[in-house]
Structure 1
């Protein structure tokens, strides 16, 4: 069963964006970058670390560094049930 993005955000997931800097396999002195995004939970970031392990296992370009940011899109204080109706004219 597929879980919607809204359901994931309500369960505490937030959007994690990571930028991977890696050495080109044929040109070891050249750095390239790759941007990755997924919904993940802070502070453990299991999906991010799973992707890092996949990269190290499957991709030829060795990692130089990874920087990431995590943003919870829906915080407890921002979500509330609104009951009411406003009529204009």
Structure 2
């Protein structure tokens, strides 16, 4: 999480033991563990929310492109029909 190795963690533990004393160390370690757990859950929740938002944006973009594709297909069909009508009109005039 914070990219702390074993030796860094051990050094922090020794300094904490010297500063707070052996009597209060277990209670402080429990509280620290509790807060680290809360921080991990909080970070995981934020990552999940960001991932959900990213997925929602991708879906919206995909739907937008799909709508544009549908519009292009509709224009293509209209153009095709118009060309067929023109072709039939010129064939009728030749006959």
Q: Which has the higher contact order (CA 8 A, sep 6+)?
A: 1
TM-score over 0.5 for the alignment?
A: no
Select the structure that is richer in strand. Answer: 1
TM-score (norm 1): 0.24
TM-score (norm 2): 0.23
